[in-house]
Amino acid sequence: MIDCHCHFDMMDSPERYLAKMERLGHTIIGMTNRPCFFIQGLHHINPRSNIRLALGLHPLQLDHFEEDIVDFKEYIDKTTYIGEIGLDCTTEGRSTFDRQIDCLEEILRSMVDKNKILSVHSRQAENEVLNLLDLFFQKNVIFHWYSGDAKLIPEIVEHGYYFSVNEAMLYSPHGRELISHMPKERVLTESDAPFNSRADIQKAIEGLAGIWRVDARYAERLIEENFKTLLRGLSE
């Protein structure tokens, strides 16, 4: 199984969780919310074959923006994965939205000549995120827990981007409606644990299988192939 967006550094016992996931042969991409958390966790990840750590700067954690963006640029070549980054224009993020845009522009500008896989946060800012990704020529992008307008999905797909879907989305009529508009070939799975109380990857796969009207094993194989296709984009 593949978990493209997980905050295992925020779990009560990350080491125990990672040992279990590695034993099961699961592929886990761990997000970080600040560069200092990335560098602290990196030495715990390097020996593990199917576990990767992403370098992130979360849009709602910009209190140390000037310091963090310097660290972000310093650490960027230590990983293939970037996340969690993006924009948040909900009530929680509206007052800092201009600052978020400045931060995301700095991050994307630093990656123009680099080939990375990005996991992006886009709550109530989907158009703005898509426009900035396009402006800075980003290719390998996953829209994490997409909750925007279904009408934007074809444009996201046209850019070659992916969506990571979790169990919680399948309990929401809006989430299920959005998933029904996503091409199967552009869907990946995520947990967003530990922040998401419905974070079971197997249940997400079974829910997707129901929407796609296929059996769960076929859905799991398709998601695995989608992830391999995304990885192949790194060599293009």
Interval 182-200 mean pLDDT: 96
| Residue 236 confidence class, pLDDT cut points 50, 70, 90 | low
Interval 165-170 mean pLDDT: 97
| Residue 173 confidence class, pLDDT cut points 50, 70, 90 | very high
Q: In the chain, how many domains are there? A: 1
pLDDT of 66-83, one tens digit each?
999 999 999 999 999 999
Please check the confidence at residue 218 and state whether its pLDDT lies above 80. yes
CB 52 within 8 A of CB 16: no
pLDDT of 23-67, one tens digit each?
999 999 999 999 999 999 988 787 677 999 999 999 999 999 999
Spatial distance between the Cα atoms of 111 and 103, rounded to a whole number of angstroms: 13
Q: Any bridge partners for residue 218, and if so which?
A: none
The rounded percent of the chain whose pLDDT value lies above 90 is 89
pTM: 0.96
Those residues whose C-beta lies under 8 Å from the C-beta of residue 69, and which sit 6 or more positions away, are: 57, 103, 106, 107
Look over the chain and give the mean of its residue pLDDT values, rounded to a whole number: 95
| Closest to 56 (Cα-Cα) out of 45, 77, 72 | 72
Those residues whose C-beta lies under 8 Å from the C-beta of residue 199, and which sit 6 or more positions away, are: 166, 167, 168, 191, 192, 193
Q: What is the CATH number of the domain that holds 188?
A: 3.20.20.140
Spatial distance between the Cα atoms of 212 and 198, rounded to a whole number of angstroms: 20
pLDDT of 95-109, one tens digit each?
999 999 999 999 999
| Residue 235 confidence class, pLDDT cut points 50, 70, 90 | confident
Cβ burial of 181 (10 Å; 0-12, 13-18, 19+) is middle
| Residue 199 confidence class, pLDDT cut points 50, 70, 90 | very high
Report the pLDDT value the prediction gives residue 69, as an integer from 0 to 100: 97
If one counts every other C-beta atom within 10 angstroms of the C-beta of residue 61, the result is 16
Domain boundaries, position 16: 2-235
pLDDT of 147-165, one tens digit each?
999 999 999 999 999 999 9
Please check the confidence at residue 233 and state whether its pLDDT lies above 90. no
Distance of CA 136 to the CA centre of its chain: 18
Cβ burial of 138 (10 Å; 0-12, 13-18, 19+) is buried
Spatial distance between the Cα atoms of 217 and 209, rounded to a whole number of angstroms: 8
